[in-house]
Amino acid sequence: MSKLVVEAELREETGRSATRRLRRAGKMPGIIYGGGKPDIAITMDYFTLAKQLNEESFHTSLLQVKVKGSRGKNTVLLKAAQWDPVMDTATHLDFFRVSASDTVTVDVPVVAVNADKCPGVIKGGILDLVRHSLEVTCRADAIPDQIEVYCAQLEVGDTVHIEDVAFPEGSSVQHDVNFTVLNIAAPKTGGSDDDADAEVESSEEAPAAE
C-alpha cells in the first residue's frame, strides 16, 4: 500500500491558547509519538487535512509525515482525531509511528459487493449492513482498503457471519463469537389505511365486557 504524504511544521507552542491561535490561522495541531522516539508536536494546513480526512484511505493507510525543520522520516498511522462537537470539524490529530513490518489493528470499512444483484434484494429484501467496519489485524504495509462481502447469491433471510468473510492473505479479525456482518432482511409489510380504519370501527362496535 502506497504511503500518503502529510506536510507539517514543528509546533513550538502548546496549550489551549496557542492551539486556538493556530486554528484561527488556518492550521491544525497534531502530535507524532511512539516507536521509542521523542514526541514531535506539529502543525499542518487545516484545509489540506480536512480534504484528506474525507478519504477513507487516509484513516487506514501508512502515512509519511514530512516535518519541515526535522530530520528523519516519520512513517505513521492516524491513531486518533479530535472533533469539535458543534462544528463537526477536526481539531487535533494523533499519529503513531510504525514500521512496515509491524502488526497493527485498524478499523477497515466493510463493502457489500454486488448487492444490487442479490436475489433477496431483487425480491424486495433489505440489505442490513450490521458492521460498517471491522477491526482488522495485519502488517502495517498490508492494510486492506476495504473488506469485501460478496452478496450476489444471498436470498431473503440469509446472514453473513464473520467466519463467512474471506480476508486478504495475512489479515484477520480476532473474535470469540461468530457475529453477524450483514443480512438480507425480509421486506417490511404493513396494512393499508383502510385496514387500520376497519380495525378501529370493529373495536368501537364491539360490546363492552360486563
Structural domains of the chain, with CATH: 4-98 (2.40.240.10), 104-185 (2.170.120.20)
Task: Report the C-alpha dihedral over residues 106, 101, 173, 184, rounded to 10 degrees.
Answer: 70
Closest CA to 62 of 111, 99, 8: 99
Bridge partners (DSSP) of residue 184 are 127
Distance CA 121, CA 125 (A): 4
Residue 118's Cβ-side half-sphere holds a number of Cα atoms within 13 Å equal to 25
Give pLDDT tens digits for 83-142.
888 888 888 999 999 998 999 999 999 999 999 899 999 999 999 999 999 999 999 999
Distance CA 205, CA 53 (A): 62
Residue 15 DSSP symbol: S
- pLDDT-above-90 percentage for the chain: 64
Distance CA 140, CA 117 (A): 34
Quote the Cα angle for 176-179-184, to 5°: 170
Helices (H), 54-192: 56-60, 119-122
- pLDDT-above-70 percentage for the chain: 89
Q: Which residues of the chain have pLDDT under 50?
A: 1, 196, 198, 200, 202-203, 209-210
